[in-house]
Homo-oligomer: A and B are copies of this chain.
Amino acid sequence: MKISPLQKARYEYTPKLPGMLRNGIADICVKEGAATQSVADQEKIAELFPNTYGKPEITFEKGKNTSADKKQIVGVILSGGQAPGGHNVVSGLYDALKATNKDNVLLGFKGGPSGLLEDDYIEMTDEYIDQFRNTGGFDIIGSGRTKLETPEQFAVAAEVCKKHGITAIVIIGGDDSNTNACTLAEYMAANKTGVQVIGCPKTIDGDLKNEDIECSFGFDTATKTYSELIGNIERDANSAKKYWHFIKVMGRSASHVALECALETQPNICLIGEEVADKKMSLSEIADYIADSVEKRAANGDNFGVAIIPEGIVEFVPEFSVLISEINELLAGSKTEEFNALPSWEEKYEFIKAGLTKESMAVFEILPQGIQQQLFLERDPHGNVQVSLIESEKLFSALVADKLAERKAAGTYKGKFGVQHHFFGYEGRCAFPSNFDADYCYSLGYNAFMLIQYGFNGYLSKVSNLSKPAEEWVAGGMPITKMMNMERRNGKDKPVIKKALTELDGAPFKYFAAHRDEWAVKTSFLFPGAIQYYGPSSVCDITTKTLALEKGEEI
């Protein structure tokens, strides 16, 4: 099989482990911390997780390995969307497992959690694993979106584990998958299956983090890839001086990706969903905010710029959410047929006008026709509007164009407004992991095995102190129950890991907020360039500005 020169070179890379894991398996001992409790709803969580609640945080240290001499057969699962570094979690896990006992076995369940339910797996070998070291993608075993959450599924999982003599399952996933890992861990303990469950924090969205987990893996590489592209476009904009580029970046439920890209590239505009929701901003207010920057820059002769739009932005706009609910209501049941039967868009428009409240109709009216039609014509199998299909970068550039037309008529704006649109998402999920992600992921996997070997169950593999060189990283584990609270999901209270939204009083947002007025007017673009895997450490070993700021460091 042909491989690229970079892939060949990356096979040679040796991921850096935390200092305390570098002394060899025989020299890793456990230090137990205090008992933990959940971040909220302690009583309820304790009641739901009698076997896995309240366990201590643990860290690994240099010292005599006191774990039991037991043959381990471990299953590993990749769950959900791709994130750079997944292959390194698997290879770190494999290396620790084989270094501990060469008879240990690692089974990779294929295509996500469904692989475990369907008993579809491959046994990992040196030869197989070596093809995937330090590469992007989840193609080593594939991934999938099946949710492992019902007792029936757990029973099947336990059965499959029993069949293979599996002693532990490692689930690599986001907040939902780790919530499910915790529930599975509780099930395995309650039913005395002897199977341990360990989670690993994955997601490019960056919304799985908290006081224990400094960041999820993949966020570093994905944001570096998007920032490369945004920086290149900024430089093009500043050279051609001809276009405003509206760039949408992945991230539906939180705006961490957009914020990190903004810190890396200093664009003129970056919208943050959490702020839009907090300030209850309307579409019109957002468009005015952007148009202000366009107008001020035009006054300086700069008819170009860059605006970053998080993928999920419209879902944070309160009036838009109301509009969507009204549309879903308006088309419920047989009314869809009635609506579809109307022969022309004009007649459909009248139907809509008659059915929406005055407030929502006002919002609907300012939308470009293409988006108006999309809201009504492209609906999911349940008849609901597919908000994720809305091209928010085009929506906002159209709204801004309307604002500028008004301002031109009023004589306050005299510039030109040419627009290009971009969406960056798939480009970053499977990049070769940065050195940071390669090291972090390998360490998470290695560490996950140490948690297994020491008998822990319902823990998340935890590596921290990440803004420092890997030598100083701290390896250990955290009971997943510690990160849980009760939330309303589909009409029921459920124990879940709290999703981390962008904090408006957090250091990353505050840094952005302190500089954005200047960036909006002055060209302050930064050009990060392509991810480097070699070269000066300042170029190839630094992680995100988000993490640096959260750690109180200068950027």
Question: Which positions in A face B, CB cutoff 8 Å?
Answer: 2-10, 81-82, 135-139, 142-143, 225, 228-229, 231-233, 235-236, 238-241, 245, 264, 266, 344, 420, 422-423, 426-432, 524, 526-536, 538-540, 542
Q: Given A139-B238, A344-B344, decide whether A532 and B529 contact each other with a Cβ distance below 8 A.
A: no
In the complex, which of the residues B3, B136, B235, B532 contacts A139, with contact meaning CB atoms closer than 8 Å? Answer: B235
Contact across chains for B526 and A432 when beta carbons are under 8 A apart: no
Which residues of B are found within 8 Å of A228, using beta-carbon distances?
A: 431, 530
Which listed residue (B142, B232, B233, B524) contacts A241, Cβ 8 A? B142
In contact, A535 and B538 (Cβ under 8 angstroms): no
User: A239, B82: Cβ atoms under 8 Å?
Assistant: yes
State A139–B526 Cα separation when bound (angstroms).
13
Q: How far is the CA of A427 from the CA of B230 in the complex (A)?
A: 8
For the complex, give the distance between the alpha carbons of A233 and B231 in Å.
20
Q: Are B2 and A526 in contact (CB under 8 A)?
A: yes
Contact A426 to B236, CB < 8 A, known contacts A344-B344, A536-B9, A539-B5: yes
A239 touches B138 (CB 8 A): yes
Cα–Cα distance between A430 and B423 once the two chains are bound (Å): 18
Minimum CB–CB distance from A396 to chain B (whole Å) comes to 18
A sample of 21 cross-chain residue pairs with beta-carbon separation below 8 angstroms, ordered by A number, consists of A4-B528, A5-B536, A6-B529, A6-B532, A8-B538, A9-B539, A135-B527, A136-B232, A138-B240, A142-B241, A143-B240, A232-B426, A232-B430, A233-B426, A239-B430, A431-B529, A432-B527, A432-B529, A530-B530, A530-B531, A534-B536
Q: Note all chain B residues with C-beta closer than 8 A to A81.
A: 240
Q: A136-B527, A241-B142, A530-B431 are in contact. Are A535 and B426 (CB under 8 A)?
A: no
Structural contact, A430 and B235, CB atoms closer than 8 A = yes
Q: Please indicate the chain B residues that have their CB under 8 angstroms from the CB of A431 in the complex.
A: 228, 232, 529-530
Q: B430 contacts A4, CB within 8 Å?
A: no
CB–CB A542/B5 < 8 A = yes
A2 CA to B10 CA in the complex, in Å? Answer: 31
How near does chain B come to A200, taking the closest CB pair, in angstroms? 17
* B231-A4 in contact (CB<8A): yes
Instruction: Provide the bound-state CA to CA distance between A420 and B229, in Å.
Output: 19
- The reply to whether A233 and B4 form a contact with Cβ atoms under 8 Å apart is no
Identity of the chain B residue whose Cβ is nearest the Cβ of A266 in the assembled complex: B2
Q: Compute how far the CA of A555 lies from the CA of B471 in the bound complex, rounded to whole angstroms.
A: 40
A82-B240 in contact (CB<8A): yes
In the complex, which of the residues B5, B82, B239 contacts A142, with contact meaning CB atoms closer than 8 Å? B239
Which of B236, B238, B264, B527 is the one whose CB lies under 8 Å from A7?
B527
Residue in chain B with minimal CB distance to A429: B236
The answer on a CB contact under 8 Å between B239 and A232 is: no
Complex contacts, A229 vs chain B, CB 8 Å: 229, 427
- When C-beta atoms are compared, the residue in chain B nearest to A346 turns out to be B344
Are the CB atoms of B9 and A426 closer together than 8 Å? no
A138, B137: Cα distance in complex, Å: 35
Residues of B within 8 A of A422 (CB): 423, 426-427
Q: How far is the CA of A9 from the CA of B344 in the complex (A)?
A: 60
Whether B531 lies near A534 (C-beta < 8 A) is no
Using Cβ atoms and an 8 Å threshold, which residues of chain B touch A241? 142
- In angstroms, how far is the closest chain B Cβ from the Cβ of A554? 12
CA distance A429 to B429 in the complex (A): 23
Partner of A136, one of B3, B235, B245: B235
Asked if A538 and B9 sit within 8 Å, CB to CB, the answer is: yes
How long is the Cα–Cα vector from A528 to B9 in the complex, in angstroms? Answer: 11
- Cα distance A530–B540 in the bound complex, in angstroms: 12
Q: Is the CB of B530 within 8 A of A239?
A: no
CA–CA, A535 and B540, complex, Å: 11
A136 partner residues in chain B, CB cutoff 8 A: 232, 235, 527
Q: State which of B225, B264, B420, B542 has its C-beta within 8 Å of the C-beta of A530.
A: B225
Return the contact of A236 from the options B2, B4, B82, B530 (Cβ within 8 A). B82
- Please measure, in the bound complex, the distance between the C-alpha atom of A3 and the C-alpha atom of B232, giving whole angstroms: 14
Contact B239 A428 (CB under 8 A): no
Contact B5 A432 (CB under 8 A): no
Bound-complex Cα distance A43 to B117 (A): 79
What are the nearest 5 A-B pairs in CB distance?
A: A534-B535, A530-B530, A235-B430, A6-B529, A137-B235
Inter-chain CA distance A540–B137, complex, in Å, is 22
